[in-house]
Structures are given as structure tokens and as C-alpha cells.
Amino acid sequence: MKSSKQNYVSFSTGNFMKNPLIFWILVFLTLSLAAKITVADDDTDQTRDYIVFTDQPEGQDLRDYAIQILSAVLGSKEDAEKALGYVYRNVGPGFSARLTPKQALLLQNQPGVLYVKESEMYQLHPHPHHDEGQSGWSQSL
């Protein structure tokens, strides 16, 4: 007669300590996770360039309007002036600013703000093997 005792794996602390491979894998995974969390937290404090489009202010200079909006998020006029980049007058009312992602989210909810987007860099020349003297465009049509 066979025993009715089932084989099972016990995950008690003692078994992990008996097998060094499992122990070191768990240590590695724990440290990796901790490092990713730390990097993610640090990343939210780095400033980036954002493009902000706003309503057209009535009777107010666009630069003053941008500083007013930024001051509400950054806490002071001085910090707003430091963060302010370019004021858009021709394309539409708006400005660029150096902000953290958290500040950009807060800015999105400010009255008068229509759109907040992180600025992106575009490469104008699409050909990866551009040599001097060549246009980079395909010569065969």
C-alpha cells in the first residue's frame, strides 16, 4: 500500500537558507527592485522642457500671464521666471517652461491652461548613413 502522504514544497525561511542559490536569487531580485524604485523616484525630480498652450489673456502681456500661471504651481514669481523659457506669440498663446513631471501635471489643471506636453526632439535628416557630399535621399525612384 502506498502512503497517502503528498509531496509538497515548503517555503519556510529555513528552506531558503538551506539552498544558497534560491537565497541569492531572492537577494538579487530584492536589490534590483529597490534600485528601480530609487531611479523612478529620482527621475520625477529632474526638470524637462514642456510646451504649454493657454487661453488668450485679455489686456495682459503674454509673458506676465505665463509667469502668473507658473507662479501658482511653482510657488513664487522668482521660480516662475527661472523656469520660463520662450513665450509663444505668433502660433498661439503659450510658453515653454522647465518643469518636473509632477509640476507639469499640476500645471495642466490650472485655469487658462489648455495643453501641456513634454517637448520632443525630432531629427530632420532621416538617413542613418549620411556621408559628406551625399544628400541622403535615395537616388533611384
CATH number for the domain formed by residue range(s) 48-118: 3.30.70.80
Q: 45-73, pLDDT tens digit by residue? A: 799 999 999 998 888 999 999 999 999 99
Tell the residue number behind the cell numbers 509663444, with chain if given.
Answer: 88
Strand arrangement of the beta sheet that strand 113-118 belongs to:
84-88, 94-99, 48-54, 113-118
Helices (H), the chain: 13-18, 20-43, 62-74, 77-83, 101-108
Q: Which three cell numbers stand for residue 111?
A: 485655469
Question: What is the pLDDT tens value at each position of the chain, 141 positions in all?
Answer: 555 555 555 555 555 456 666 666 666 666 666 555 544 444 567 999 999 999 988 889 999 999 999 999 999 999 999 999 999 988 789 999 999 999 999 999 999 999 999 988 777 766 565 555 555 545 444
Q: Work out the burial of residue 106: count CB atoms within 10 Å of its CB; fewer than 13 is exposed, 13-18 middle, 19 or more buried.
A: middle
∠ Cα 25 31 40 (to 5°):
135
